[in-house]
A = this chain, B = another copy of it.
Amino acid sequence: MGRNSRKVDILHAASKIVSERGIFNLTLEATAEEAGISKGGLLYHYPSKEALVKGMVDHLASNYREKIENNAKADPKDVGKWTRAYVDVTFKNTYENKDMNSGLLAAKAVNADLLNPIRDLYTEWQRDIENDGIDPVKATIIRLATDGIWLAELFDIYHIGEEKKEIIYARLKEWIDEQKPE
């Protein structure tokens, strides 16, 4: 299994189509063209549209999980490390990781069950954040506010400005750090 870059290329192509042209334009042909391969070649790697979308979700889920885990484990301070990791990774990713957006949008449209890996992720994170050595209610609110920003952007409903975003980010980080371990 030397090369898997082709599979990832296809995933990126699909994401690009969804974010630029919308879910209804995510066809196998368009994806193949965007990825620079033939339809037959695409079907070789992902034997159905659903498999393609599943590939998108699984890919982003494992990436996201890994990032948060690494962040939390590298944190020198134990108290609040999961909450901090969630806030940091999500704030930094919102722009870079457009794949996230598109994969979720596509999965929600094609087959909601494909979102299961994401649901598992959130269940885990919520558990970790509630046992982070700080007030669990405040920690949850911090997580929710972070979600509020990226979900509104994903949905293209409201984009908070860069400056405001920084101020919110700073305040949330303050809140995490000012919490006393019990």
| A interface list, Cβ under 8 A from B | 22-24, 104-105, 108-112, 115, 118-119, 122-123, 126, 137-138, 140-141, 143-149, 151-152, 155-158, 160, 164, 167-168, 171-172
From B109, B141, B155, give the contact of A172 (CB < 8 A).
B141
From B122, B156, B168, give the contact of A108 (CB < 8 A).
B156
From B119, B137, B158, give the contact of A167 (CB < 8 A).
B137
Inter-chain contact B158/A119, CB cutoff 8 Å: yes
A152 to B146, alpha carbons, bound, how many Å?
11
16 A-B Cβ contacts within 8 A? A22-B109, A22-B112, A104-B157, A115-B157, A119-B156, A119-B157, A122-B158, A137-B168, A140-B164, A140-B168, A141-B141, A144-B146, A144-B148, A144-B149, A148-B148, A151-B155
Min CB gap A29→B, angstroms? 17
Min CB gap A116→B, angstroms? 10
A145 to B143, alpha carbons, bound, how many Å?
8
15 more CB-based (< 8 A) A-B contacts, given A115-B156, A126-B160, A144-B148: A22-B111, A22-B112, A23-B109, A24-B110, A104-B157, A140-B160, A140-B164, A141-B141, A144-B144, A144-B146, A147-B147, A147-B148, A147-B151, A148-B151, A151-B151
